[in-house]
Amino acid sequence: MTARVLIKDLAALPDGPVSVAGWVETVRDQKKVQFVVLRDESGAVQLVNPRTVDEDGTVVADEPATTISGLSQGSFVRATGELKHDERVKLGGIEIKLNTLEVETTAIAETPIAADSGIDKRMDWRFLDLREPKHNLIFRVQTTLEHAMRQYWVDNGFIEIHTPKLMASASESRAELFELPYFETTAYLAQSPQIFKQMAQAAGFGRVFEIGPAFRADPSFTSRHATEFTSVDTELSWIDSHEDVMKVHEDLLVAGFTAVKEKHGAEIEALFGVEVTVPTTPFPRIPLAEAKRIVAEQGYEVPRADDDMDPEGERRISAYVKETYGHEFVFLTDYASSIRPYYHMRHAEDPSLTKSYDLIFNGVEISTGAQREHRVEILEKQAVDKGLSVEELEDVLATFRYGIPPHGGFGMGLARVLMLMLHLANLRETTYLFRGPTRLTP
């Protein structure tokens, strides 16, 4: 049997016998000739079958004509035939004249979703939704982005770790924890790999990274929240400030965006109408207090009781940066200690501020990073200041009692990065199978 060829590789082959396989996208069953558009994971090709006609003009019911007449959209088939290059063929300038067509599985004729179906309906039938070339491209872009980031980490001496997602206690906030029975006790799904990344610093690993799942019991129904998401995490030792973390963060993103633009830029522009821009370094950096002053001067007062920025403020400061610096990214730095976790290091000259940042991309926060507090006595004090129990945190604090270098890191939402890179409105689009407050299937 002739080995299966991916459709994207057909154009480079000479005319001659080939074998392809995929699903039926369209069928045109005409009297004299039949056309099938076959799509696989790499592209689409036209299959052609001239009908056999008797001397009296009667169409003969032979194969593969009979099989083609019974084909339904979405059926998976194997086809063999003669590849022919013909510039008149609109679909790629090639076609395959059929010899055989074998149906592997037959699809139900009426599909449950259409091009204009709403996003919730599409998520119900995600495996069908992902057959669309545009949606398929998202996950090829994701693969390239992750590979390029991993290459950056490896080339720069980082160690990949895989941290547990079952925890005995909260990693950050009990308010957003999923809990589940665990034999004779209770376990929690990890909100982040934070403490485990820091353990690696105490272990002397120096620089670590992980791409893995994280869980937040957050009943949000916004376009940028999920209860399970893929977190991109980095932690590194021997830093002087959060500036060292930001430098790694921006270099990592430049590596990822460069690879995506080189491999998929033309296709992204064709299907999404978006030009991927590789960001220049350094990214703009604006202290949070200054960012709030800038948006206030533009007529927007952040309507929050705490010291944080809100989504509208993030959009406005991002627009300001785009206009002023021509940049899609901005680091908002020096967040108030009142709204940051106890383990964020505070400025020695002003303990009301932390050595931390949020990274805003096209108006949406995609990451939080910081220098961590590595001195256990200060950690204990800051935990108490936050109303936390030192006794309950002892398993965490033990990591710091046997020595740990100055360190810091960040966690970043993968789906958000892809959503904003492709200028999409909802991270459901860039999540393979989305999980939210009301969605546990498919």
Report the SS3 class of residue 376: helix
Say if residue 401 carries a ligand binding annotation.
Answer: no
Q: Is 372 annotated as a binding residue?
A: yes
Show Cβ contacts of residue 30 under 8 Å, excluding neighbours closer than 6 positions. 51
Q: Which of 20, 15, 14 is nearest to 1 (CA)?
A: 20
Residue 106, annotated ligand binder? Answer: no
- The residues pairing with 186 across neighbouring beta strands, listed in sequence order, are 181
Quick one: which H or E segment has residue 201? helix 194-202
- Residue 414 counted as an annotated binding residue: yes
- 41 annotated ligand binder: no
Residue 199, classified by CB atoms within 10 Å of its CB into exposed (0-12), middle (13-18) or buried (19+), is: buried
What would you report as the CA-atom Rg of the chain, rounded to the nearest whole angstrom? Answer: 27
**Is 415 among the annotated ligand-binding positions?**
yes
Structure-token pair, residue 322: 């785009």
- Beta-bridge partners for 335: none
Token duo for residue 387: 């109303």
Least Cα distance to 136 among 334, 422, 442, 435 occurs for 422
What's the token pair of residue 65? 């004509």
Distance CA 139, CA 430 (A): 8
Residue 312 φ then ψ, to 5°: -65, -40
Q: Consult the annotation and say whether 150 binds a ligand.
A: no
Say if residue 122 carries a ligand binding annotation. Answer: no
Q: Residue holding tokens 């610096």?
A: 325
Asked whether residue 216 is marked as a ligand-binding residue, the answer is: yes
DSSP 87-124: TT-TTTTEEEEEEEEEEEEPPPSS-S--TT--HHHHHH
Annotated binding site for L-aspartate: 172, 216, 368, 372
Annotated binding site: 172, 216, 365, 368, 372, 413-416
Annotated binding site for ATP: 365, 413-416
